[in-house]
């Protein structure tokens, strides 16, 4: 398990983490060994340009969201040099980068997940079916009484 895998598990569990990723694939947004702060994210709020901690095809990346497919609940992840890593489901997007070297990322704080589980896709509320009012049963007519004749 690599360093990003361990951070992804901590973020998945609800922690906000700080670490120093290595590599040059995100320059100039994130330089190698710059400190980043990553918090759990509500994937339904993501948009192109967000930097996320996500698993794509078995590998965890701190890369850009470059496209959003709301209907299929997935995002496309790419580095900042034009290489597309691929599409990944909302369940594999763990966190959003809030800051790089204490410089806040615009709009990121509003996308932090504050509950223990990701926001589900909205389900339409069913329209209540009106309950029919019971119709009173007709009162039975008394049977004619026979009078005995002597």
Query: pLDDT per residue over 41-79, tens digit each?
Result: 999 999 999 999 999 999 999 999 999 999 999 999 999
Q: Considering the domain boundaries, does residue 73 fall inside one?
A: yes
Q: Considering the domain boundaries, does residue 24 fall inside one?
A: yes
Q: Considering the domain boundaries, does residue 44 fall inside one?
A: yes
Give the CATH number, domain containing residue 25. 2.10.109.10
User: How many domains does the chain fold into?
Assistant: 1
Q: Any alpha helices (H) in the chain, and if so which ranges? A: 3-12
Q: Which two tokens stand for residue 112?
A: 């932090």
Among candidate residues 110, 3, 88, the one with its CA nearest the CA of residue 11: 3
Query: pLDDT per residue over 20-34, tens digit each?
Result: 999 999 999 999 999
Global confidence as pTM: 0.76
Q: Which two tokens stand for residue 20?
A: 């120093």
- Supply the range of the domain harboring residue 31: 3-111
Q: Considering the domain boundaries, does residue 43 fall inside one?
A: yes
Q: What is the phi/psi pair of residue 109, to 5°?
A: -60, -30
Q: Considering the domain boundaries, does residue 133 fall inside one?
A: no
**Burial class for 47, CB neighbours closer than 10 Å (0-12, 13-18, 19+):** exposed
pLDDT at position 76: 99
Among candidate residues 83, 50, 80, the one with its CA nearest the CA of residue 67: 50
């Amino acid at each position: 398990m690599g360093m990003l895998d361990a951070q992804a598990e901590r973020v998945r569990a609800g922690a906000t983490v700080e670490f120093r990723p290595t590599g040059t694939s995100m320059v100039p947004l994130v330089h190698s060994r710059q400190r980043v702060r990553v918090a759990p994210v509500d994937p339904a709020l993501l948009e192109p340009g967000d930097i996320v901690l996500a698993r794509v095809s078995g590998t965890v990346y701190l890369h850009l969201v470059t496209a959003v497919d709301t209907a299929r609940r997935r995002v496309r992840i790419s580095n900042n040099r034009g290489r597309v890593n691929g599409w990944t489901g909302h369940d594999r997007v763990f966190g959003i980068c809030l800051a790089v070297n204490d410089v806040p990322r615009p709009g990121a704080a509003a996308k932090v997940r504050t509950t223990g589980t990701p926001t589900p896709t909205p389900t339409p509320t069913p329209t209540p079916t009106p309950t029919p009012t019971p119709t009173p049963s007709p009162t039975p007519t008394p049977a004619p009484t026979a009078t005995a004749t002597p």
